[in-house]
Chain A
Amino acid sequence: MSDLATHGAHPQGFAHQFEDIEQQRDAGRLGMWVFLVTEILFFGGMFTSYTIYRALHLESFVQGSHQLIVKFGATNTAVLILSSLTMALAIRAAQTGKKKGQIIFWLILTMILGAAFIGIKLRFEWYRDYTEGLIPGVHWFYNGPHAPGVKMFMCFYFFMTGLHAIHMVVGLGLLTVLVIMTARNKFSAEYYSPLEISGLYWHFVDIVWIFLFPLLYLIGGRY
């Protein structure tokens, strides 16, 4: 912190190994994207095995998909997209040098929407799956058509949505840290990289759900 006093000409948060603040921001974005590429391949492994098993057992996957309730999946998609918008607006508020109250407002709104997503998932979907006996290995008494294949589909469903939900919880943790950092005046119109790269993460988690929704809820149509 004493550095800041002696190098008053530099914007807050500027690290001296960079030529200028824009280069520092680009480096941060690049680093985050390298991490997100590992995340793409991490989730990609699940999407790959999902694709193969779906091709091998399509009828079972259709049957399994019809155990899920579309309206909750669609609602949650909308909630997440809205939270992406509020996240983008939080970053924009920082970029345009708005008062910290405005940044915190958008961040908290993002957190509320993220929590609503998890709440809907838990209360109206996973809890119902439990009472209906649709959780393999925990509470399972589905004995309709294609029972073994439906079991496999539900395994995919819980692993994929579970991994996604864990990412949401991590995102909520990041947002909590961001709210505290904003309240402590850590950001300015020049320095907002933590906001921006956390935003990248949040949008990435949104994109994963954009694919999970049609792949899990809408297989084989609902007609």
Chain B
Amino acid sequence: MSDHTEQSGHAGHIVPVSTYLFVFLALMVGTALTTWIAYIDLGRWNTVVALTIAVIKMVLVVLFFMHVKYATGLTRVVILAGFFWLGIMITLSCSDELTRGWEIVPQGWNMIVPIVARLF
């Protein structure tokens, strides 16, 4: 609130056109860079670089086009919570699905199941 200029007192924060243009150019450069790098063999780093650029582009859009740089703390917490939950969904789903082949089922369980079943 303290950084409000007299102009923005009534109409919320007004981002200068130059900032919008700069962000737009950065996004275009990011797009060109992503496309260009896809044609260079970096092995598995191709994906890492592509996603890093995508995340940087997302942060630029969120902060400036979506005005989150000037948003209230409450709004920021809600947004961070959203991404945190997205992280939980992706991490836990992957940790289940991608580790299923790591170990064979211990023999002991196969023997215990019929024993337990007999109890009921």
Contact = CB atoms under 8 A, between A and B. Distances in A.
Contact of A81 (B28, B79, B86): B28
Interface stretch (A22-30, A125-133, A157-165, A177-185): A22-30
Interface in A90-134: 92, 95-97
Given A85-B24, A207-B61, A221 B66 contact: no
Contacts of B20: 85, 88-89, 92
A33 B79 contact: yes
A48 B86 CA distance: 9
Interface stretch (A39-47, A135-143, A144-152): A39-47
Nearest to A26: B72
B56 to A, nearest CB: 10
A29 B41 CA distance: 43
Tell me the dominant secondary structure on chain B's binding face.
Answer: helix
B10 A189 contact: yes
Contacts of A218: 34-35, 38, 46, 50
Contacts of B97: 52, 56
For the residues of A in contact with B, the DSSP-based class is helix
Nearest to A47: B90
Contact of B41 (A41, A56, A200, A221): A221
B78 A37 contact: yes
A40 B39 contact: no
A88 B10 contact: no
Nearest to B13: A95
B117 interface: no
Contacts of A222: 38-39
Given A95-B11, A222-B39, A223-B39, A51 B51 contact: no
B35 A74 contact: yes
B65 A203 contact: yes
Contacts of B75: 26, 29-30, 33
Contact of B38 (A70, A77, A87, A196): A70
A213 interface: yes
Nearest to A220: B46
Contacts of A45: 89
A84 interface: yes
Residue from B12, B78, B82 having most chain A Cβ neighbours under 10 A: B12
Contacts of B40: 221, 223
Interface in B38-77: 38-42, 46-47, 50-51, 53-54, 57-58, 61-62, 64-67, 71-72, 74-75
Interface of A: 21-22, 25-26, 29-30, 33-34, 36-37, 40-41, 44-45, 47-49, 51-52, 55-56, 70, 74, 77-78, 81-82, 84-85, 87-89, 92, 95-97, 189-190, 192, 196, 199-200, 203-204, 206-207, 210-211, 213-215, 217-223
Interface of B: 10-12, 14-15, 17, 20-21, 23-24, 27-28, 31-32, 34-35, 38-42, 46-47, 50-51, 53-54, 57-58, 61-62, 64-67, 71-72, 74-75, 78-79, 81-83, 85-86, 89-90, 93-94, 97-98
